[in-house]
Chains A and B, each alone.
Chain A
Amino acid sequence: MTPTVEKALLIAGIGMAGIFVFMAVFYLLILALDRFLPYQEEKPAEELSEDSVSEEEE
């Protein structure tokens, strides 16, 4: 194996590992997003105002 090919394989290895590390960190960040900011059904504006009115009445 020539030194050029050896270096190429090294770059390719580090490159692919780098991409997977980047994507894995991204993956974990998205999981964290889902965990700490789970989806909550957004109430329509009318419903919200009705809620506030009923709170005031109480």
Chain B
Amino acid sequence: MNTLLSLADNLRTFWSYTGFFNAEIGHIIMILVGLVFIYLAITKEYEPLLLIPIGFGILVGNIPFNEAANLQVGIYEEGSVLNILYQGVVKGWYPPLIFLGIGAMTDFSALIANPKLILIGAAAQFGIFGAYIIALQMGFAPNEAGAIGIIGGADGPTAIFTTSKLAPHLLGAVAISAYSYMALVPVIQPPFMRLLTTKKERVIRMKSPRVVSQTEKILFPIMGLLLTAFLVPSGLPLLGMLFFGNLLKESGVTRRLAETARGPLIDTITILLGFTVGASTQATTFLRVESIKVFAIGALSFVIATCAGIFFVKMLNLFLSKEKKINPLIGNAGVSAVPDSARISQIIGLEYDPANYLLMHAMGPNVAGVIGSAVAAGILLGFLY
């Protein structure tokens, strides 16, 4: 009889440790969100390299368990494996390493060949500051508003880096929002691009960019680094690594390092970053009204950034001669979702003129957007950190 009672006790304890016993409706909702991410990544191919790790991370982070049992499995339990990996997000180590890889894979030739395109990358940052003001109006504290605003930069690593400093409690919501909207750029941008441009503007043909010398390509990241260091030192962790990676690529003598930075290193960090950001969205910390507000403001920031880029090109065209005019369809590419927003410019452009290839022109504002969002992050950190 005693044996039976003890067995029943053990079974009861075992049951109390299972996910079935500890599951709440929030866990189920988040598991469904994770499954949607994985579904979108596989079937629609929306940013699969990010959405698969994030989606799977959401599943792992929302497996219900008995927190009182001190199993050391949760991402917020100090000393757990997930918690150790999550430190790269919390302390901001991962984003600069991702920027190193981005630098090693980015060709700045389009920007160097037509430098006025860099200003489009600046104009698109209205999305960040517009969202910042909206977030403040919606009752967020200034540091939280800054973290939410950075979603408009359409740059996951920058958003994570800034939020980890300004409002770590919003990290999950901001990161998921930024990556979701980056994946949805092909859905969000085209309607506004059509709405804000005329048929005549959409068929503007731009001059082929000039050839860029290797010397220019080598000097560009060095100049960029020095400019960043002196003008916006708070942007140094991101931009410093971006330009360092680019110098590895362009110097021509560090091919192995460049290949590691743009290959195994960035892949490893992407896996760790995506997975831990996903796992950080535990239902108890993620499912709040705040998160819904963050998502709403995030969507608005993408719209503002897209519109600002297009309006800026239209304004710039007022001052340019006929042969130097810029096709406003590349204005959206100031939103730094590389290379998706540049591809959208190309796709929409081809719809109206099948021989008008805008991709090479759109890559200029696109890479300028990466620089612009990191500068904006540096400015926000300078004011609010």
A-side residues, CB < 8 A to B, are 4-5, 7-9, 11-12, 14-16, 18-27, 29-31, 33-34, 37-40, 42
Contacts and interface: CB of A to CB of B under 8 A. Distances in A.
Contacts of B211: 39
A7 B143 CA distance: 12
Interface stretch (B56-64, B112-120, B351-359): B112-120
A29 B232 contact: no
B172 interface: no
Interface residues of B, number: 42
B42 to A, nearest CB: 37
- Per DSSP, chain B at the interface is helix
Given A39-B210, A39-B212, A33 B133 contact: no
B372 interface: yes
Interface of B: 111-112, 115-116, 118-119, 121-122, 125-126, 128-130, 132-133, 136-137, 142, 145, 210-216, 219-220, 223-224, 227, 231-232, 368, 371-372, 375-376, 379-380, 383-384
B98 to A, nearest CB: 21
Contacts of A21: 231
A21 B216 CA distance: 21
Given A22-B375, A39-B213, A29 B136 contact: no
Counting chain B CB atoms within 10 Å of each CB, the highest count among A7, A22, A34, A39 belongs to A22
A14 B186 CA distance: 31
B252 to A, nearest CB: 12
Nearest to B129: A12
A19 B376 contact: yes
Going nearest first, the 5 A-B pairs with the smallest beta carbon separation are: A12-B129, A30-B115, A23-B122, A39-B213, A15-B379
Contact of A15 (B116, B129, B223, B371): B129
Given A8-B133, A19-B122, A20-B122, A34 B375 contact: no
A5 B224 contact: no
* A contact face: mostly helix, strand, loop, or mixed: helix
B126 A27 contact: no
B219 A33 contact: yes
Contacts of A4: 136, 142
A4 B383 CA distance: 14
A3 to B, nearest CB: 11
Most buried by B among A4, A11, A27: A11
Nearest to B224: A26
Contacts of A24: 119
A9 B141 CA distance: 14
9 contacts: A15-B380, A18-B375, A19-B125, A30-B216, A31-B115, A33-B216, A33-B219, A39-B210, A39-B216
Nearest to A28: B115
Given A20-B119, A23-B368, A40 B213 contact: yes
Contacts of A19: 122, 125, 372, 375-376, 379
Given A11-B383, A15-B376, A27 B210 contact: no
